[in-house]
Amino acid sequence: MSSVEDMAIAEAKRILQNSYSPYSGFKVGASLVSVDDRIFAGTNVENSSYGLTICAERAALTRAVSEGIREFKLLVLVSEGNKCILPCGACLQVLSEFCQDLKIISITDSGETKLTTLKEIFPAGFRL
């Protein structure tokens, strides 16, 4: 892995600890890497009205977009447990607005790793 990937993994692991997940008890940390190697991290923020919950992926993306960044090359997801996770449908659609071919690395706290791409898991996102 490249050093930017290592830094993105470390940042996702760090921000995982800030998760607000009192309802599911499932913490997720995400790092989104821009094409110029800037790293934007986010974590899941749950709400008692589940539909208002913000996933870690969208938290990282909105942070980046708020800083004027619109092009990305890597998403790192870190979760607790022994199963690698992938972004939900809402996150896939939002990510596809900004990048068609995003590399995704999913890692569990037990060390399991899964590599994929946005194009592979979400080949036909909605476009106007």
Active site residues per annotation: 57
Beta strands (DSSP E) in the chain are 28-34, 39-43, 72-79, 103-108, 113-117
Cα–Cα distance measured from residue 39 to residue 97, given in angstroms and rounded to the nearest whole number:
18
CB of 101 within 8 A of CB of 117?
yes
Q: Which amino acid is at 58?
A: R
CB of 98 within 8 A of CB of 70?
yes
Cα–Cα distance measured from residue 80 to residue 111, given in angstroms and rounded to the nearest whole number:
10
